[in-house]
Structure 1
Amino acid sequence: MKKILIVDDELSVCTLLTRFLSKNGYDAQSCTSGADALRQLKSESYDIMLCDYHLQDITGKELFEKIQPLYPNIIVIFITGYADVRVAVDLIKNGAYHYLSKPLYPDEILKIIDNALKDGNMPVATHAIPEAKNGYSTPGPLTTASPDGYVIGESEASRNLFEHVNLVAPTDYSVILYGETGTGKEALAHLIHQKSNRRNGPFIAIDCGSLSKELAASELFGHEKGAFTGALHTKEGAFEQAEGGTIFLDEIGNLSYEVQVYLLRALQEKSVRKVGGVKTIKVDIRIIVASNENLYENVLNKTFREDLYHRLNEFTLKVPALREREADLPQFVNTFLANAGKELNKSIAGISPAVWELLLVYKWPGNIRELKNVIRRACLLTPEGKEITQKALPLELLNSKNMSQFAPQQSRSGNEEDQSGNDPSLKNAAIQGEQKRIMEVLQQVKFNKTKAAEILNIDRKTLYNKLRSMQQSNDK
């Protein structure tokens, strides 16, 4: 039986972890100070030490420095309520195995302990981690995420968000999530479900934006055989599937007014009726909805029912855009690097300081989803064992540091000039005007190239060719 020492100045944490790990086949013991931990280590041998970073008599780092030369084979995993990426990276560089933020998740703890015992005392990150010029450390495979993959950030916006999540999750309140596309609203809804009393029930997610007016009622409430053309079998709707759990309706503003009536009735009566059916089916569900629009404005515009809005609006959460939570970038990048490495079965040595600066400057119109795609793409293009460089980044990211680089330049006399030199020709002025217009439209549509091409009245291929020509001209 593997032995684990838990060191935390909160007795409740020690008690809970000791009981949990003991039930899962470990010989778990605990103490509440660094001094007690040193005494325990002298008297008994342990395989793993779970250590709170902020102890009352000593910091976790100081304790680690004391025990490392005396007990080199013990695996040290730090836990803390004050996560700091730079501290974590420094500890891992110096031999700690992992670093987790409170609140702790049982499945995550067991997984990390299991991996630690398989790996021995080899840290999860052993490569050199360069310091970026802006003071941030390029993150390694360290992660502070909930079991469902939602990264718990350290920015003020994130802290406020998760304070409210922890308040509303244990209740049965209906919740509206507001946020731009790509901010992780579905992942947050799943996190609320995992923290609720319904966590053992199903979590059913429906994208209302993909539902046609004709099929929405069938998808939500089900239908009877023969209810309409093509209804060859009786279908169970999302509300029935979510019985005892949570149903998440994304982009709820896209539901037709007629379907909104059915939804309101289902929520008020806690029952549904299949399309073409006569039987009323009782349902016990919690509902969470999301929108990238202000639903109250839709109410004023008569596109969303006011009574349904007030029924859903028992609690509202604003999911911040990625540009509003810059301090969380290291954790997101780190998580996506680790996930992409597993997906591609590839080891990436990290991110170059130049790339890290671009990640901080960019405004991320596509938010977390865009960041995730950028990291996955960069990992695919980066050779095994190498660090990600600017060559692996998309054009919009490379241009983010100086968006004015494609704008027409002016000479001291005020005459327009080409990037490659003085050229007052009408042809060059036209080229510069075209480049300026392209960049204005791209910024206007947040670099959605399909929309930009439509506005510019050209096809995507032509737009890409023009952007490539602009990049080549800028590189000269």
Structure 2
Amino acid sequence: MQYRILVVDDEQEWLEILQLLFTRKGWEVHTACSGEEAWTRMSETSYDLVICDLAMPDMTGIELLKRVRTVDAVLPFVIMTGVGSIQTAVEAVQLGAYSYITKPFKTQDLEITATRAVEHGRMHRQLENARDKNTPDVMPFVLGSSKAMQEVLGTINKVADSSVPVLIQGETGTGKSLLASHIHGISSRREMPFLTIDCGALPETLLESELFGHVKGAFTGALFSRRGLLEEAQGGTVFLDEIGELSPATQVKLLRAIQEREIRPVGGNKPVSVDVRFITATNRNLKEDVTSGRFREDLYYRLAVIPIFLPPLRERLGDLILFIGHFVEKFNARYGKSITGVSPAAMQMLFQQPWKGNIRELENVLERAVLLADQDELSPDTLGLQFSLSDKRDSGGSSAAPVSLQQAVQDAERRAIQQALIITGGNRTQAAALLGIGRRTLYDKLDEYGIDAKPRADGGE
């Protein structure tokens, strides 16, 4: 996607370097050699991002930032600073800059910061627009725009209108059921039923009855005949979640249903024709299960005509801001809140998480944060993530019992230090400046609390 950005620096060499860098990314780049010129340009043109040098003669980057914030509270603003002005750069972040980067820097670091800043700004605009439009609680799910997801969606768009089976594989919480629903929603069967069953949640006998139906008297308690899921979904789509949990006997019956397009209800002799599209999902490695004999090879190849792999959230962080914006918007509508953004510090925490529970875990974190937020911006305190980032010795269990004031202060100090290290990417000098303490004091605190803060790989302290 093409973004329009403004680069501000009083050194022409830097303007040329950054213009070339971002033009190669396909972005539209405007430049200004002073704060006044930048202000004039911003009054005439709207931008997705401003990258500004801190030390300029007529108007400093801080002064330009303050002026911008009087008219636009959302426009992402990144400060470039020299090593000797870290404290001022930290002040800029406190005044509303998205982030700062120290000269000289790696171009890759600036590209990452700029991309995240632009997406951060787009998310804030989205939340503002949603608040103005009173967005309802029911909204389409955001599937993502990362390269990995675009490849997935490209495949789906090619096969959506066919009736070939689709097998979706991925970790728990990656959105397999939502993707299955999306496939049905863009297919020619979208006006017909979309029915789901969790194959791992039911015992074998009950699962067979749910899938294929049963006749009266087929088993104890079968007081009347009942149509199964495959018959109920005639003309539509059946989504079989956790397909890897099927027993061998049920695998045989499902294979027959796919091959012959007909089923036999439990206890019945009369076949019933079915016309359904099969979408299945699993968090298991079915190829390994085939090799071990746990899953039928012929059924696997019937189900995996179109295999889809959903990558975990930690491998598609480019989609993270889209998901954050979607969930904040969703819970704003559900709970009558008006959250308009996420603070840079909170955003850094979200990007640092391993997200072992994937999108589902992110959704739970943001629902809690929206509910607990007292202001219109989510802060690190509302996320409830600081304990997951702390030393493992502190995670052995929590107690509701009151603690001493000294203990409470120590806990707060520990979390503040950990948060500062996250924001500064492990740079202890910058973390000390952010905390307002000396570097020696920070070292003492790191030893006291047993916090492991290794120096950065690029040599930063």
What band does the TM-score fall into relative to the shorter chain? 0.5 to 0.7
Change in Cα spacing, 1:313 to 1:345, as seen in structure 2 (3 Å) is: same
Contact 1:85 1:331 in 2 (8 A): no
> Aligned partners of 2:346, 2:303: CA distance in 1, in Å?
42
Partner of 2:190, secondary structure, is coil
Change in Cα spacing, 1:272 to 1:474, as seen in structure 2 (3 Å) is: same
Change in Cα spacing, 1:148 to 1:345, as seen in structure 2 (3 Å) is: closer
Change in Cα spacing, 1:471 to 1:155, as seen in structure 2 (3 Å) is: farther
> Aligned partners of 2:125, 2:207: CA distance in 1, in Å?
42
Question: How far apart are residue 387 of structure 1 and its match?
Answer: 1.2
Correspondent of 1:238 among 229, 246, 255: 229
Change in Cα spacing, 1:359 to 1:278, as seen in structure 2 (3 Å) is: same
> Aligned partners of 1:175, 1:370: CA distance in 2, in Å?
25
Q: Does structure 1 residue 398 correspond to structure 2 residue 386?
A: yes
Correspondent of 1:140 among 115, 124, 138: 124
Partner of 2:157, secondary structure, is helix
Change in Cα spacing, 1:226 to 1:341, as seen in structure 2 (3 Å) is: same
Question: How far apart are residue 278 of structure 1 and its match?
Answer: 1.8
| Count of aligned pairs | 306
Contact 2:168 2:282 in 1 (8 A): yes
Structure 1 segment 53-452 matched on structure 2, within 5 A? 131=98, 134-135=113-114, 136=117, 137=120, 139-140=123-124, 142=126, 149-383=140-374, 385-394=375-384, 397-399=385-387, 403=389, 406=391, 435=393
Correspondent of 2:397 among 453, 457, 463: 463
Deviations 1:242-263 (A, max 9, x none): 1101101011011111111110
Contact 1:355 1:389 in 2 (8 A): yes
Unaligned runs of 5+ in 1: 1-58, 60-68, 70-83, 96-127, 408-434, 440-461
Change in Cα spacing, 1:240 to 1:175, as seen in structure 2 (3 Å) is: same
Q: Which amino acid aligns with 1:393?
A: L
Deviations 1:173-192 (A, max 9, x none): 11110100000001101111
Contact 1:185 1:290 in 2 (8 A): yes
Q: Which amino acid aligns with 2:382?
A: A
Q: Which amino acid aligns with 1:463?
A: G
Change in Cα spacing, 1:468 to 1:288, as seen in structure 2 (3 Å) is: farther
Deviations 1:256-297 (A, max 9, x none): 111111101111110111111222110101101001011111
Partner of 1:199, secondary structure, is coil
Segment of structure 1 superposing worse, 253-262 or 225-234: 225-234
Question: How far apart are residue 329 of structure 1 and its match?
Answer: 1.0
Partner of 2:341, secondary structure, is coil
Contact 1:203 1:245 in 2 (8 A): yes
Partner of residue 419, structure 1: none
Question: How far apart are residue 157 of structure 1 and its match?
Answer: 1.1
Partner of residue 32, structure 2: none
Partner of 1:317, secondary structure, is strand
Contact 1:207 1:249 in 2 (8 A): yes
Partner of 2:141, secondary structure, is coil
Q: Which amino acid aligns with 2:241?
A: D
Contact 2:139 2:330 in 1 (8 A): no
Q: Which amino acid aligns with 2:391?
A: F
> Aligned partners of 2:243, 2:187: CA distance in 1, in Å?
22
> Aligned partners of 1:302, 1:387: CA distance in 2, in Å?
53
Change in Cα spacing, 1:320 to 1:242, as seen in structure 2 (3 Å) is: same
Question: How far apart are residue 131 of structure 1 and its match?
Answer: 2.8
Q: Which amino acid aligns with 1:193?
A: H
Q: Which amino acid aligns with 2:399?
A: N
Partner of residue 80, structure 2: none
Contact 2:141 2:326 in 1 (8 A): no
Contact 1:174 1:315 in 2 (8 A): yes
Contact 1:178 1:316 in 2 (8 A): yes
Unaligned runs of 5+ in 2: 1-27, 29-42, 51-67, 74-94, 101-112, 131-137, 414-461
Contact 1:129 1:140 in 2 (8 A): no
Q: Which amino acid aligns with 2:188?
A: N
> Aligned partners of 2:365, 2:247: CA distance in 1, in Å?
35
Change in Cα spacing, 1:287 to 1:262, as seen in structure 2 (3 Å) is: same
Q: After TM superposition, where is structure 1 displaced by more than 6 Å over at least 4 residues in a row?
A: 84-87, 466-472
Partner of 2:124, secondary structure, is coil
Q: Which amino acid aligns with 2:228?
A: G
Question: How far apart are residue 472 of structure 1 and its match?
Answer: 7.3
Change in Cα spacing, 1:132 to 1:467, as seen in structure 2 (3 Å) is: farther
Question: How far apart are residue 85 of structure 1 and its match?
Answer: 8.6
* Identical residues among aligned pairs (%): 41
Deviations 1:103-157 (A, max 9, x none): xxxxxxxxxxxxxxxxxxxxxxxxx99635544225236289xx97331322111
Change in Cα spacing, 1:187 to 1:130, as seen in structure 2 (3 Å) is: farther
> Aligned partners of 1:278, 1:230: CA distance in 2, in Å?
19
Question: How far apart are residue 201 of structure 1 and its match?
Answer: 1.2
> Aligned partners of 2:381, 2:161: CA distance in 1, in Å?
46
> Aligned partners of 1:241, 1:86: CA distance in 2, in Å?
52
Question: How far apart are residue 200 of structure 1 and its match?
Answer: 1.4
Partner of 1:154, secondary structure, is coil
Partner of 2:354, secondary structure, is coil
- TM-score normalised by length of structure 1: 0.58
> Aligned partners of 1:263, 1:297: CA distance in 2, in Å?
20
> Aligned partners of 2:398, 2:236: CA distance in 1, in Å?
46
Contact 2:212 2:228 in 1 (8 A): yes
